[in-house]
């Protein structure tokens, strides 16, 4: 593949490329005196993701992923939807009633194109079930499934509850988007479920007899997004590897699906148009982004946290233990610039392991819990007890006999509070902010350098997706020219914005 030197291409209209000196073109500005080139669509050009968009009624194949604790809330999802694009509400850490209210809020805004996330919670199955039920009740048109590692009866229930046949074709009550970094699991979910899984879903009352019969012969999901190195939970792989691994068995998969179409997208690291264009060249049906949406006006993240995000370089990220699946050893990718959270959380993890194994009475662990978190273990334990007494008192009963669980709960207190401090903009705790973030945010920052959209207050969610989409299209066009060795414009690292790209 030919790439252009310094080719942070330009943001443009659908039909032209503009190459010019660094800067932003605003309405009424004259075109740059030198270096401007316009590039119309190439003859015979097919749009990336065209069939995916046509199938699901979307204006563009760029999707906005779920962000926990409602960071992607109704405001963000509605803005994305206003451009005919798909965004997901982040339900993790929010009660079912929040999902119901958000669904009503979206309906009130006339927004019918939206989705919400169901995160698998092996340690909190009641909470997972409560959200799953609410997804059905709120009639979410799309459900994104994450943290699952195998097909479960719950997945099968969501896939076929309310499904029917029309004109010989399965019509689902909701579309499922499975997000995973495990190609073998993706393959299993793209095929029909086992009889045992269907029976288990029916036994739970999630499927009628007719729905169960449909389930036996149809694939569990039609859409999969393979996620590489991303914000939050990640195993840091490259999306290209995952995509190639799944494509390798494509023919067999289509046979198992009896020819029913499937849609494979990618996620993880997409923050500038060149990377998105690479996904189109690889043959992805769609691209899902997360990090770059967190630093938009509509994201329910604290202002201070957004200021920190737009200052990040691509490598200002690191790994830390995850609050939600701490006992399972899960880790998350977070911002490391302007906050010591990752360093402290890793120290605390070491503290937690030592405390779980038990040191002789009175022996103090170094550094101490208080030195790491700023809170004495006694105060922290009292607050932890008060929290769990309301949420799930059974946990406290188990903790009485388990030093390991007590230590884990103390560690999880800090891991849980640190993301809340960021959302609330608690200045005193800025150095403890936990902000989920992948290298994509820094890549966006580099791309937008010198442009007014560097300031997140100027940047909308819909606008960010549209910019990436259009600029990726023009990047593909320029690469096509390069392939035919046609003369190319001299390119400089710019984000030239046309009038209609200005902040909405």
Q: 270-300: string of b/e by CB count within 10 Å (b at 16+)? A: bbbbbbbbbbbeeebbbbbbbbbbbbbbbbb
Tokens 């023919």 belong to residue: 251
The answer to whether the bond into 367 is cis (omega within 30° of 0) is yes
Q: Are 354 and 374 in contact (CB under 8 A)?
A: no
Helix or strand (DSSP H, E) at 227: strand 223-227
Residues 389-448 that bind ligand FMN (CB under 6 A): 436-438, 440
**Binding letters toward ligand FMN, positions 98-137, x by CB under 6 A:** -------------------x-x------------------
Tokens 């965004």 belong to residue: 87
User: Least CB distance from residue 337 to ligand FMN, whole Å?
Assistant: 15
User: Least CB distance from residue 270 to ligand FMN, whole Å?
Assistant: 5
Q: Are 37 and 489 in contact (CB under 8 A)?
A: yes
460 in contact with ligand FMN (CB under 6 A):
no
48 in contact with ligand FMN (CB under 6 A):
no
Tokens for 66, please give them. Answer: 């779920």
Of 168-176, 191-199, 286-294, 342-350, which segment contacts ligand FMN by CB under 6 A? 286-294
Out of 90, 157, 219, 321, point to the residue binding ligand FMN (CB under 6 A). 90
**Residue nearer to ligand FMN on the CB measure, 193 or 268:** 268
**Residue nearer to ligand FMN on the CB measure, 159 or 198:** 159
DSSP 3-state of 395: helix
DSSP 26-50: -TTPPPPSSS----PPPTT---TTH
User: Least CB distance from residue 219 to ligand FMN, whole Å?
Assistant: 21
278 in contact with ligand FMN (CB under 6 A):
no
Beta strand spans in 235-316 (E): 263-267, 286-289
DSSP 299-331: S-S-HHHHHHHHT--TT-EEEEE-STTGGGT-E
User: Least CB distance from residue 10 to ligand FMN, whole Å?
Assistant: 21
DSSP 3-state of 350: helix
61 in contact with ligand FMN (CB under 6 A):
no
**Residue nearer to ligand FMN on the CB measure, 20 or 268:** 268
Q: Are 87 and 77 in contact (CB under 8 A)?
A: yes
For 89, phi then psi, to 5°, come to -70, 140
461 in contact with ligand FMN (CB under 6 A):
no
70 in contact with ligand FMN (CB under 6 A):
no
Out of 80, 92, 132, 399, point to the residue binding ligand FMN (CB under 6 A). 92
Helix or strand (DSSP H, E) at 379: helix 377-391
148 in contact with ligand FMN (CB under 6 A):
no
User: Least CB distance from residue 224 to ligand FMN, whole Å?
Assistant: 13
Instruction: Fill in the DSSP letter of residue 429.
Output: G
289 in contact with ligand FMN (CB under 6 A):
yes
494 in contact with ligand FMN (CB under 6 A):
no
Out of 4, 63, 68, 163, point to the residue binding ligand FMN (CB under 6 A). 68
Question: What is the chain's length?
Answer: 504
| Residue whose CB is nearest to ligand FMN in the complex, by number | 290
Of 162-170, 225-233, 376-384, 397-405, which segment contacts ligand FMN by CB under 6 A? 225-233
Of 19-27, 64-72, 153-161, 375-383, which segment contacts ligand FMN by CB under 6 A? 64-72
Dihedral angle sign, alpha carbons of residues 196, 200, 202, 207: negative
DSSP 165-181: EETTEEE-SSEEEEEES
How big is the site for ligand FMN, counted in residues (CB under 6 A)? 28
User: Least CB distance from residue 232 to ligand FMN, whole Å?
Assistant: 4
User: Least CB distance from residue 386 to ligand FMN, whole Å?
Assistant: 25
User: Least CB distance from residue 418 to ligand FMN, whole Å?
Assistant: 13
User: Least CB distance from residue 495 to ligand FMN, whole Å?
Assistant: 18
Sheet containing 232-233: which strands, arranged edge to edge?
232-233, 331-335, 317-321
Residues 161-200 that bind ligand FMN (CB under 6 A): 179
User: Least CB distance from residue 268 to ligand FMN, whole Å?
Assistant: 5
269 in contact with ligand FMN (CB under 6 A):
yes
Distance, CA of 73 to CA of 78 (rounded, Å):
9
Of 254-262, 266-274, 348-356, 399-407, which segment contacts ligand FMN by CB under 6 A? 266-274
Out of 4, 53, 67, 473, point to the residue binding ligand FMN (CB under 6 A). 67
Q: Where are the alpha helices (DSSP H) in 59-147?
A: 74-82, 96-108, 125-137
Distance, CA of 69 to CA of 241 (rounded, Å):
30
77 in contact with ligand FMN (CB under 6 A):
no
**Residue nearer to ligand FMN on the CB measure, 89 or 411:** 89
**Residue nearer to ligand FMN on the CB measure, 206 or 436:** 436
Distance, CA of 203 to CA of 136 (rounded, Å):
18
Q: Are 341 and 347 in contact (CB under 8 A)?
A: no
Residues that bind ligand FMN (CB under 6 A): 65-68, 71, 90, 92, 117, 119, 146, 179, 227, 230-232, 267-270, 288-291, 294, 436-438, 440
């Amino acid at each position: 593949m030919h790439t252009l030197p310094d080719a942070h291409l330009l943001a443009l209209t659908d039909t032209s490329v503009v190459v010019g000196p660094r800067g932003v073109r605003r309405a009424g500005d004259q075109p740059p005196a030198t270096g401007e080139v316009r590039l119309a669509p190439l003859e015979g050009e097919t749009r990336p993701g065209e069939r995916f968009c046509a199938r699901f009624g979307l204006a563009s194949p760029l999707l906005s992923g779920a962000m926990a604790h409602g960071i992607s809330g109704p405001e963000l999802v509605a803005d994305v939807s206003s451009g005919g694009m798909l965004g997901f509400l982040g339900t993790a850490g929010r009660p079912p009633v929040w999902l119901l209210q958000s669904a009503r809020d979206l309906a009130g805004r006339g927004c019918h194109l939206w989705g919400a996330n169901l995160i698998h919670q092996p340690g909190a199955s009641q909470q997972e079930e409560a959200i799953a039920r609410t997804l059905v009740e709120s009639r979410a048109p799309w459900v994104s499934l994450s943290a699952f590692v195998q097909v479960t009866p719950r997945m099968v229930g969501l896939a076929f509850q309310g499904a029917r046949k029309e004109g010989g074709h399965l019509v689902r009550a909701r579309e499922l988007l499975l997000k995973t970094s495990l190609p073998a699991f993706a393959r299993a979910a793209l095929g029909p479920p086992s009889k045992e899984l269907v029976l288990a879903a029916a036994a739970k009352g999630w499927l009628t007899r007719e729905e169960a019969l449909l389930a036996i012969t149809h694939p569990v999901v039609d859409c999969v997004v393979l996620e590489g190195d991303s914000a939050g939970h990640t195993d840091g792989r490259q999306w290209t590897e995952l995509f190639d691994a799944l494509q390798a068995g494509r023919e067999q998969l289509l046979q198992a699906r009896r020819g029913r179409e499937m849609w494979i997208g990618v996620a993880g690291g997409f923050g500038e148009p060149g990377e998105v264009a690479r996904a189109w060249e690889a043959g992805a049906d769609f691209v899902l982004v997360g990090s770059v949406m967190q630093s938009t006006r509509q994201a329910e993240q604290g202002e201070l946290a957004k200021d920190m995000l737009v200052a990040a370089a691509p490598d200002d990220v690191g790994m830390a233990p995850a609050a939600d699946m701490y006992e399972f050893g899960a880790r998350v990718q977070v911002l490391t610039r302007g906050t010591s959270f990752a360093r402290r959380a890793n120290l605390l993890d070491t503290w937690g392991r030592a405390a779980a194994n038990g040191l002789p009475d009175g022996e103090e662990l170094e550094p101490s819990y208080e030195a790491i978190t700023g809170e004495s273990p006694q105060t922290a334990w009292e607050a932890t007890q008060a929290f769990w007494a309301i949420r799930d008192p059974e946990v406290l009963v188990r903790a009485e006999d388990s030093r390991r669980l007590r230590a884990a709960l103390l560690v999880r207190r800090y891991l849980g509070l640190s993301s809340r401090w960021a959302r609330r903009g608690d200045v005193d705790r800025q150095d403890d902010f936990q902000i989920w973030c992948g290298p994509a945010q820094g890549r966006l920052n580099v791309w937008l350098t010198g442009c007014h959209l560097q300031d997140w207050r100027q940047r909308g969610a819909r606008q960010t997706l549209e910019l990436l989409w259009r600029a990726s299209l023009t990047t593909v066009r320029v690469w096509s020219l390069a392939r035919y060795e046609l003369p190319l414009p001299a390119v400089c690292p710019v984000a030239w914005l046309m009038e209609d790209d200005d902040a909405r």
